[in-house]
Chain A
Amino acid sequence: MNSKRPVNLDLSTIKFPLPALTSITHRITGVILFIGLIFGFWALDASLSSPEGFEAVRHALDENILAKLIAWGLLSALAFHFVAGIKHLLMDGGIGLELESANRKAQITVVASAVLVVLAGVWVW
């Protein structure tokens, strides 16, 4: 490679194509979901430990605005990670690898997960 070629590694000046943005969001939501496992396992543990624990989880999800926000946030991250993961599996199957369809699939990923994020919000509230 010609080492005299100009190099720009300043990410803030680069315009990312949509598939790049969905790719990094897939990674970010994955990290968020990992941290969110604390809440998921807590809720599962408490809800199965006793009737009081079950009511505590139910009460938190019914009344506590912070718990609702966390639940919605994690469900949203899960929705995006899920949809983007399906996209990955399709691409592994050789479906839609051309530039045109790659953009289209990234758009579908964004729209589909946006719909799921709204539905998750409706569910939580």
Chain B
Amino acid sequence: MVTNITNFGRSGLSDWLIQRVSAIILALYTIFMVGYLLFHPALDYPTWNGLFAQTWMRIFSLLAFLSLAAHAWIGLWTVITDYIKPTGIRFAVQIVVMLAIFVFLVWGVQVLWGA
């Protein structure tokens, strides 16, 4: 088996599986959010805030954000290694993507449990 330590799960098979599982979680989260917004056309702040005050919604959202982080990294890693051949530039772009994912994750946690 070919291993490459710069990918997410350290093996293509693991990446493949994580990408599928995270995709399904993200699909469920997307369907839920779109459905919720469609069924609440006159949404107000207390209702919206109340939804995200529920523990299950926070956990569901955190699961989605973690899936997003893994999914985005595996997807962008694949795209970056396919199209950016010079090692230095590829490395730099990968670091930028990694930092961006980290920022999004921290931001998401702060939104869910923040002050």
Contact = CB atoms under 8 A, between A and B. Distances in A.
A51 B45 contact: yes
B82 to A, nearest CB: 8
A54 B108 CA distance: 17
B27 A45 contact: no
Interface in B1-50: 20, 23-24, 27, 30, 38, 44-45, 48-49
A89 B16 CA distance: 11
B107 A45 contact: yes
B62 interface: no
B104 A48 contact: no
B62 to A, nearest CB: 13
Contact of B75 (A30, A37, A47, A55): A30
Contact of A27 (B38, B79, B107): B79
Contacts of B63: none
Contacts of B23: 85, 88-89
A48 B111 contact: yes
A41 interface: yes
Interface of A: 27, 30-31, 34, 37, 41, 44-45, 47-48, 50-51, 54-55, 78, 82, 85-86, 88-89, 92, 123
Interface of B: 20, 23-24, 27, 30, 38, 44-45, 48-49, 52, 68, 72, 75-76, 79, 97, 100, 104, 107-108, 110-111
